[in-house]
Each structure stands twice: as C-alpha cells, then as structure tokens.
Amino acid sequence: MAQWRSARQGADDTIRFSRTFLLLLLAISAILIAADRTEDRVEAITVFRAAFNDVSLPVLEAAAQPLRGLYNVGPWWRRQMELANEIRELRQEMAELRAWRDVALNYSEQMRRQQELLNLDPPMPRNRITAWSVTETGGPFVRTRLVGVGSDNGVEPGYPALNIYGVVGRTIDVGARSSRILLLTDLNSRVSVMADRSNARAMLVGDNTDFPRLDYLGRAPDIREGDRIVTSGDDNVLPRGLPIGEAVMDRRGLWRVALYSSAAPIDLIWIWPFEPIAPPAEEVPVPAVLPGLPPADPLPPDAAEAAEPDAVSSAEPETDQTGEGR
C-alpha cells in the first residue's frame, strides 16, 4: 500500500503541459517550417537566424573543443606510430643509399682513370632547357606534349626530353616559342634501346598504350623481368644511356616496358641538346702534294705542247695491215 502511494505521489509531482500549450507549440513549429521554404522565406526570420548563428557559434565551438580533442586522441596516436615506422624505414634506406653512394663514387673514379688510360674525351653535355608542358588535344599525333620553349631558347628537332624519372620523348616540331614533343607511347615513336644488364638490343615501339613494346629481340633474347632498359644510341636518334624503364611481360608473352616517366605527371620537362653523329663525306679530297715530298716542277709550255700529241697517239689503238685493231 505504501509502495502504491509513493508511485502515485511521484506521478502527481511530474510536470504536465496543458493541451492548449501543446497545440500552440505545434502551430508555431508548422509556421516556422512553412516560413523556412525558399520561395516563402521571410526576410526577418532569415536575419534573426543569421544573428543567432553568429552569437551561438563561439559558444558551440568552445563546447566542441573538448569533445573534438577526445575524438582525435586515437587517430593522433595512430599517426604517431605510422610516422615512427616511416622514420625507421627511411633511416634504413638512407644507410643503404650511403653504401650505394660509396660504390658509385668508386666506380666513377675507376671510369675516370680508365678514360685517362684510353685517352678518351667524352663530350660534355650542354646546359639543359627547362620548360612546362601542356597536353595537346588534337593533331596528327595521338600522344604529344606542347612545351613553352622553342628555337629562341636553343631547341632543335630531335632533342631528347626527360622528366625527373626518365625519358619522355623527343622534339619533332619546333617553333620560335613552342615545341611539340613526341612521347615514347605514341604510335609513331621508334627508339633503339638495350638492357642495361645484358646489352640485349631491341626497338622500343609505341602503340598508344602506357606500356610500349619491345620488338626485334631475336630468337633467344637475354632479358629478364625487371631489367633496366636504357637507350642504346644505335639509331643515332637519342644518346646512349638515358633511362627508359623496366622490362615487363604481358599476358600474351610479349616484352613491354614500364616507363620511368609515368611515375609522376609529365609537367616539368628538361630538354637536353643532342647533336647526332654526322656521316662522313662521300668524296675525300686528295692533297696535291703528299706531306714530306717536295712539290713537282711545272713543265715548260713547249714541253707541254709536245707531250699532248704523244698522249693522244698513245691513246689510239695500233692497227695492222688489214686495218683491224690488235
């Protein structure tokens, strides 16, 4: 009995709203919803709402700061662990790169000494030409790029174009202030390449895909998956030793090249001046006087006139009595 009275007494102590007040709140809510429509929006309500948002925004921001900090605790520690792992990996790679740097310096010193012993004088490359590229939407070639440098900057047709990773293509049409670069992936691109490991020769042929194919490899090419492909310079189109990409095999068993230049967008391009080796002249002039011999004395005019009939008579064939030549 005591429990029933306490429950009833608690129910009587609760706050109750009259039905009139409830209907009034519903009417006000309906009016606010109707007034919030875009076509029927009241300007006074819009101004009041904007002012209320301006006043309540600092309060809401201050109240949300602790909750936002609690929500970010987990991601922050997770990011710290990821950064620690990345730093550990970078330190290991840096140690390996230092070892490779020492090897590269040793090989560079050995190559310099061998060049001195062989009396080789390799040509030093001229200054590179830097340019920004833009995509060309139309033209006779499918995959080309336009750059904002031309003959005024020293660009000529046939110069190789590279980005920070490898060869992009070569210049084909050069204007005064712009040039067109034919990419290695274009259908009209043909470049002589070789495998850096085995010196196996091939022709890099573009087919309008991201992975140009290797043709003319021979029956048993010495190429492996992941071999570094560089320019061979045999075609006298590009210089020797420029990085192209890595050898990969497609589903049909054909060798293709994953280009180094496709590792990043082709935006900044360097154009390297390159002069192909000119073929020798067809006629080699013979010196009239050999070195080390005195010049011959000219003949007097009388002796020259006397020698001319003898030369003509010696050139005529001798005939016998029947008039036939011997």
Q: What is the DSSP string of 43-77?
A: HHHHHHHHHHHHHHHHHHHHHHHHHHHHHHHHHHH
Whole-angstrom CA distances from 156 to 63, 153, 279, 280 are 66, 9, 19, 22
Q: Is residue 9 part of a domain?
A: no
Asked which of 42-51, 129-138, 176-185, 207-216 is least confident by mean pLDDT, the reply is: 42-51
Q: Is residue 233 part of a domain?
A: yes
> Would the pLDDT of 33 be above 80?
no
Q: Is residue 230 part of a domain?
A: yes
Q: Is residue 298 part of a domain?
A: no
297 CA to centre of own chain = 67
Please indicate, yes or no, whether residues 106 and 175 belong to a single structural domain of this protein. no
Q: Which residues contact 196 (CB under 8 A, 6 or more apart)?
A: 227, 228, 229, 230
> Which of the two residues, 40 and 268, has the higher pLDDT score?
268
Q: At 249, is the pLDDT very low, low, confident or very high (cuts 50, 70, 90)?
A: very high
> Would the pLDDT of 140 be above 50?
yes
Please indicate, yes or no, whether residues 117 and 230 belong to a single structural domain of this protein. no
Please indicate, yes or no, whether residues 83 and 141 belong to a single structural domain of this protein. no
Mean pLDDT across the stretch 159-172?
A: 93
pLDDT digits (tens, 9 = 90+) for 267-295: 889 999 988 888 887 765 655 555 555 55
Please indicate, yes or no, whether residues 138 and 109 belong to a single structural domain of this protein. no
Mean pLDDT across the stretch 120-124?
A: 60
CATH number reported for the structural domain that contains residue 176 in this entry: 2.40.10.340
Q: Is residue 78 part of a domain?
A: yes
Of 139, 204, 130, residue with least CA distance to 173: 139
> Would the pLDDT of 44 be above 90?
no
- Of 226, 246, 271, the residue at which a domain comes to its end is 271
Please indicate, yes or no, whether residues 118 and 208 belong to a single structural domain of this protein. no
> Would the pLDDT of 201 be above 50?
yes
Specify the pLDDT at position 40: 62
For the chain, how far is it from start to end, CA to CA, in angstroms? 163
Please indicate, yes or no, whether residues 76 and 162 belong to a single structural domain of this protein. no
Specify the pLDDT at position 149: 92
Specify the pLDDT at position 271: 93
Q: Is residue 66 part of a domain?
A: yes
> Would the pLDDT of 46 be above 60?
yes
Measured in degrees and rounded to the nearest 5, phi and psi for residue 315 equal -75, -25
In the chain, the DSSP E strands lie at: 129-135, 144-147, 160-162, 167-174, 179-183, 190-195, 201-205, 213-215, 228-231, 243-249, 255-259, 268-271
Largest CA distance in the chain: 173
Distance (Å, whole) CA 240 – CA 227: 17
Measured in degrees and rounded to the nearest 5, phi and psi for residue 72 equal -90, -5
Q: Is residue 245 part of a domain?
A: yes
Please indicate, yes or no, whether residues 222 and 204 belong to a single structural domain of this protein. yes
Mean pLDDT across the stretch 222-240?
A: 91
Please indicate, yes or no, whether residues 255 and 136 belong to a single structural domain of this protein. yes
Containing domain of residue 100, as a range?
20-122
Number of structural domains (the chain) is 2
- Of 122, 151, 173, the residue at which a domain comes to its end is 122
Please indicate, yes or no, whether residues 156 and 33 belong to a single structural domain of this protein. no
Please indicate, yes or no, whether residues 137 and 80 belong to a single structural domain of this protein. no
> Which of the two residues, 47 and 122, has the higher pLDDT score?
47
> Would the pLDDT of 36 be above 80?
no
Asked if residue 225 lies in contact with residue 213, where contact means CB atoms within 8 angstroms, the answer is: no
Please indicate, yes or no, whether residues 26 and 108 belong to a single structural domain of this protein. yes
Please indicate, yes or no, whether residues 133 and 264 belong to a single structural domain of this protein. yes
Asked if residue 326 lies in contact with residue 320, where contact means CB atoms within 8 angstroms, the answer is: yes
**pTM beyond 0.85:** no
> Would the pLDDT of 87 be above 90?
yes
Average per-residue pLDDT in the chain? 80
Q: Is residue 64 part of a domain?
A: yes
SS3 content of the chain, % helix, strand, coil (to 5): 40, 20, 40
Measured in degrees and rounded to the nearest 5, phi and psi for residue 43 equal -65, -35
> Would the pLDDT of 255 be above 80?
yes
- Of 81, 102, 122, the residue at which a domain comes to its end is 122
